[in-house]
Amino acid sequence: MPHIHTDPGQHDITAAAFIILLGGDEPKLLLHMHRKLGKLLQYGGHVELNETPWDAVLHEVREESGYDPDQLRVLQPELHLVSAGKAKTDPLPACISTHPYGGDERHFHTDLGYAVITTEPPRYAVAEGESTEHVQVTRAELAALDGTKIFPSVQQIGLFVFTLLDSWQPVDVSEYRKK
């Protein structure tokens, strides 16, 4: 989806998943090479007019990584809200960050970054037109990447997400599906 807000100082809302693959020698963060920006990024994109940030994460992850939502678990603090009467609740993001987009200091993205885990490979192929260059990096490998390969904010949030493996609990994605 294109930018909704294009005037100077305006913000578009984006949502992303920092997916950590468990089950090998050590956990690995999954990233893809953004086709336009030429840097490694988490999976995500713009929140469309007809969806919540969590809905955006689920559809973007499916398109960009090939993961079906039922292959994922979202990390949440031990105490987290799943139901609020008639209001739809979404998982708590691991991070909410705002940054200028694409070097333009006049346009911003406010991103809700969710911590997600999986133990299996993606079920589907990446959608046509999406990046086909994907990497799996350990915590140490992520820390060693330089600014030519990854934005410092993505690197720092990714490192933070690794710490959540020890303190937040995995919750089935279906708890937050549309009802």
Compute the distance between CA of residue 54 and CA of residue 173 in angstroms, rounded to an integer. Answer: 10
4 within a domain of the structure (yes/no)? no
Question: Which pair of tokens denotes residue 152?
Answer: 């410092």
- Segment 67-88 shows an average pLDDT of 89
Q: Can you give the CATH number for the domain in which 58 is found? A: 3.90.79.10
Look up the domain containing 46 and give its range: 11-79+87-176
Fill in the amino acid letter for 81.
L
Residue 179 confidence class, pLDDT cut points 50, 70, 90: very low
Residue 160 confidence class, pLDDT cut points 50, 70, 90: very high
- Segment 134-138 shows an average pLDDT of 97
3 within a domain of the structure (yes/no)? no
170 within a domain of the structure (yes/no)? yes
Taking only the tens place, the pLDDT of each residue in 98-118 is 988 766 677 788 999 999 999
| Residues 25 and 140 sit within 8 Å (Cβ to Cβ) | no
1 within a domain of the structure (yes/no)? no
Compute the distance between CA of residue 41 and CA of residue 151 in angstroms, rounded to an integer. Answer: 8
| Residues 13 and 52 sit within 8 Å (Cβ to Cβ) | no
Taking only the tens place, the pLDDT of each residue in 25-61 is 999 999 999 988 899 999 999 999 889 999 999 999 9
What is the per-residue pLDDT for 157?
98
How many separate domains does the chain show?
1
Q: Which residues pair with 113 in a beta bridge?
A: 16, 95
